[in-house]
Amino acid sequence: MFKAASSDNDEDMVKLALLYFLETVLFGKDQKVHIGAHHVELLEDLETFNKYPWGRKCYETTLNSLKRDLRRMSQEYHTTSREIVSGKKKEASSQQGKGMYHTISIA
pLDDT of residue 32: 64
pLDDT of residue 106: 47
Q: Per-block average pLDDT, block size 10, for the chain (107 residues)?
A: 69 85 79 77 91 92 87 80 63 50 50
Rounded to an integer, what distance in angstroms lies between the CA atom of residue 57 and that of residue 94?
A: 32
CA 40 to chain centre: 19
pLDDT of residue 92: 47
Query: For the chain, what is the domain count?
Result: 2
What is the Rg, in whole angstroms, of the alpha carbon atoms belonging to the chain? 21
- The residue range of the domain holding 7 is 1-52
pLDDT of residue 88: 56
Which among 39, 98, 101, 46 is positioned nearest to 70, based on CA atoms? 101
Do residues 2 and 47 share a domain? yes
Q: What are the start-end ranges of the H helices in 6-106?
A: 10-21, 37-42, 46-51, 54-84, 99-105
pTM summary value: 0.51
pLDDT of residue 45: 92
